[in-house]
Amino acid sequence: MRLFTYLLPILLFLSACGGGEQQQQEPQTTEPETQPAQAQTEDVRTIDIIGVDQMKYVVKEEDELIGTAGTIKTSNGETYLLLKNIEADPGEQLRIRLTTVSDLPSSAMAHNWILLKMGVDPADFSKAATQAKTNDYIPQDRTGDIITHTDLAAGGETVEVTFTIPEETGEYDYLCSFPGHFTGGMKGKLVVQ
Ligand SMILES: [Cu+2]
């Protein structure tokens, strides 16, 4: 109420002189435009995952919706938590942000995050993926088995994917398809419940 009575004379003034003082007008025009964009970014739950040379997905902090098992120390002296699984609600929007920590060249060390449809054998999928080097280890004849995936991230790079969690509850396998990484333990379960 007080704001309105304060603004009214200004609005009357502006309409009277055909848009004089821009300083008064600016907050009114910019606020509604920037707010929805900010809200959209902040609303999506984001899980920051780090891929390390030990061929593991790790995280920096505990979170009640992710499961961890033990710690791992990397060559740069950082200690991380080993990521085992991620919990999510059916239909939820989720962002996976994957950063690779490595000093190795991309040909030797890069990671991705691939979420498979329920029931797809991750070992079988990773075997097929090793033959798909020219397509960043995404086997083109198996795209029907994938719900979503990130690009490959080499050392120092971050990739992300935002997607909708399937409605069907249960466990979905995720893995890194860089050769040897699945068998090295770069895998986990997305638990939808
Ligand atoms: Cu990997």
Domains of the chain: 43-192 (2.60.40.420)
Q: Which two tokens stand for residue 192?
A: 């939808």
What's the chain's average pLDDT? 85
- Determine the pLDDT at residue 26: 45
- Determine the pLDDT at residue 163: 98
| Exposure class string for 22-41: b at 16+ Cβ within 10 A, else e | eeeeeeeeeeeeeeeeeeee
pLDDT at 119 over 90: yes
The Cβ-side half-sphere exposure at 8, using a 13 Å CA radius, reads: 6
Task: Identify the CA nearest to 87 among candidates 146, 176, 172.
Answer: 172
Tell me if 18 sits within 8 A of 12, measured CB to CB.
no
Whether the pTM exceeds 0.85: the reply is: no
pLDDT at 116 over 80: yes
Between the CA of 56 and the centroid of ligand 1 the distance, in Å, is 7
Q: CA 28, CA 7: separation in Å to the nearest integer?
A: 11
Between the CA of 182 and the centroid of ligand 1 the distance, in Å, is 7
Between the CA of 40 and the centroid of ligand 1 the distance, in Å, is 30
Between the CA of 101 and the centroid of ligand 1 the distance, in Å, is 11
Reported confidence tier of residue 17, pLDDT bands at 50, 70, 90:
very low
Residues bordering ligand 1, an ion, CB closer than 5 Å: 111, 176, 178, 181, 186
Between the CA of 105 and the centroid of ligand 1 the distance, in Å, is 13
